[in-house]
A and B are shown apart, each in its own frame.
Chain A
Amino acid sequence: MNKLTIQHVKKRFGRKQILNDVSFELAPAKIYGLLGRNGAGKSTLLNIMTNRIFANQGQVLLGQTPVADNQAALSELYLMSEVDLLMKHTKVKDTFAMAEDAYGQFDFANATRMLNAFGISEKDTLAKLSTGLRTAAKLTVALNVNANYIFLDEPTLGLDANHRELFYQELMRTYEERPRTFVISTHLISEVQQLLEDVIILDHATIIKNEAVTDLLANAYEISGPADLVAEYTAGMQILTSRQLGKIQAVTVVAALDDHRVLPDQVKLAHLDLQKTFTALTNGGEKHE
């Protein structure tokens, strides 16, 4: 399986720069999180990667082959998005048949099992389904389609907690049975943290982080304690966020700590989870060296 390379992609809508020189690679058989605030350009990036819209500049390669208008390369990719591209009177079973016609080797048995688990009938039309169930039907196609790179844009849109849990289980099941690359773009960061191996964070049209979740979180800290001691300990570090309550201050940093710095007894160091790390990196709060 070839890696997918995104090279120097730029996209502008009118005067607004949505993506600015975005480059990264997706390795085979990995689960990625594509995170970003509303309007960060996640969907635009996924649409460009799957040739749904054109980039102003840059290209997407599968191995050494450009993906744009290349059927062999495009047949390796599948994007499930919140946009409904099929007609509303399309039956769920027809969406399976279409996936079989276009990609081949659709896993009908597993898809039927998943539909039953979600409580959807194969004969239902997409129009008859609620937003959540329509998402579930789309997810059923996405997890059973014969593609090596599967992009899930807002895969939990409208899903209730039980169905979200079911989706995470089904994702892990299909990933174990047939490892493929999944890219999950979602705002429910806490829920997907355990699933992700790598994370790509988009902010202000560029990628600000692209690394293994464990590596990122290993260097993401909240440092709290008396304000003067915290300030002394973090001197010279990039503070992403800062909160002060009386004389107590809490700051977040995402950086390797210098082993030579001595942590004062009254200062507490705690690791951040992915959601807090993301918030610290992207909230545009107080930033100073």
Chain B
Amino acid sequence: MSKQTLALVKWGLRMVAWAFGVVVAVLVGLHLVSGLIALIGGSRMSLFDFGDFLAGEVYGAWNMAVLIFALCFPYTIFKWGLQYNITRRHTWLANSCLLLVLVVTSWGLALLKNLFLYSTHHLSHFADGAGWTLLTILVGVVTVATIGAGFALLNRLWKWIVGIGGPIVLIFIMVTLVRFLFVTLHLDPATFFGSLQFLATHTAVMIGIFLWLAVMVALNYCFFMKMQLRRD
């Protein structure tokens, strides 16, 4: 890894750590305040339950922060790269490394959350389904990051147009497709979904996920290579 890529990763991680610190501090503050209010009100609720805190607020806030970061960060890191004349390829690589770190951290937090929840309920095998959790987080983060990189190509006006118009068009296409299949072609839903059963096999799902990931990563790379300094 080049020193330029490492530099971008370093600055990005610093920003993530700073943002996460702020989020956790706010959450701890809110938790303590609500605990104190409960205590003053005579409730038997404990002041601070670390397990609940980790399993609830921190995990949720972290995942939300990761998605926002994945969506908004591509153009920010690209601008850092521009300021210090770092190539688009190195910037993409740095962004990918950061996303990987975020995914692994999310996964770690998910496992930790499970550990606390399982130990609370005296259950074992907290790591069951860990692979699927990792895949889910990876697919989610990579998809959102690719949307973010795509948005980085657009100016403000087109961001609004695509941001609002895109989901509407997608919904319209889905509704039209459903109508076409079940109204125009008069397909029987039971028969139709029955014929798709082969897609529910483990292998087919895995192939689908990896194909989706490959397309997203390729798109992400293409978007980064096309990014330019915008005037807005």
Taking beta carbons and an 8 Å cutoff, which residues of A are in contact with B? 47, 50-54, 69-71, 74-75, 77-79, 83, 85-87, 98-99, 101-104, 147
Contact = CB atoms under 8 A, between A and B. Distances in A.
Contacts of A79: 85
- Output the residue of B76, B90, B228, B229 with the most chain A CB within 10 A: B229
Interface in B76-116: 76, 79-80, 82-90
B228 A53 contact: yes
A102 B229 contact: no
A109 to B, nearest CB: 20
B156 interface: no
13 contacts: A51-B85, A71-B87, A75-B4, A77-B85, A78-B84, A85-B83, A85-B229, A86-B79, A87-B15, A87-B76, A98-B11, A99-B84, A101-B11
Interface string B105-141: 0000000000000000000000000000000000000
Query: DSSP class of B's interface residues: helix, strand, loop or mixed?
Result: helix
B79 A54 contact: no
B88 A69 contact: yes
B228 A52 contact: yes
Interface residues of B, number: 23
A83 B78 CA distance: 14
Contact of A71 (B10, B83, B86): B86
Nearest to B78: A85
B229 A47 contact: yes
Contact of A74 (B6, B76, B79, B87): B87
A53 B229 contact: yes
A98 B87 contact: no
Contacts of B86: 71, 74, 102
A263 B227 CA distance: 59
Contacts of B80: 85-86, 98
A165 to B, nearest CB: 27
B229 A101 contact: no
A52 B82 contact: yes
Interface string B1-18: 011101100110001000
Contacts of B228: 52-54
Given A98-B84, A102-B86, A85 B3 contact: no
B87 A86 contact: no
Nearest to B84: A102
Query: DSSP class of A's interface residues: helix, strand, loop or mixed?
Result: loop
Nearest to B5: A71
A75 B10 contact: no
Nearest to B86: A102
A139 to B, nearest CB: 14
Contact of A103 (B82, B84, B90): B84
Nearest to B230: A53
B83 A75 contact: no
3 nearest CB pairs, A to B? A101-B7, A102-B84, A85-B83
Interface in B1-47: 2-4, 6-7, 10-11, 15
B7 A83 contact: no
B87 A102 contact: no
B3 A104 contact: yes
Nearest to B225: A69
Given A52-B229, A101-B10, A71 B90 contact: yes
Contacts of B89: 69
A234 B52 CA distance: 90
B84 A51 contact: no
Contacts of B90: 71
Contacts of A71: 2, 4, 86-87, 90
B1 to A, nearest CB: 12
Given A71-B90, A102-B7, A85 B85 contact: no
Given A71-B4, A77-B85, A85-B229, 6 more contacts: A69-B88, A85-B83, A99-B84, A101-B7, A101-B84, A102-B84
A278 B84 CA distance: 32
Given A47-B229, A74-B86, A102 B3 contact: yes
A203 B108 CA distance: 59
A196 B4 CA distance: 32
Contacts of A78: 84-85
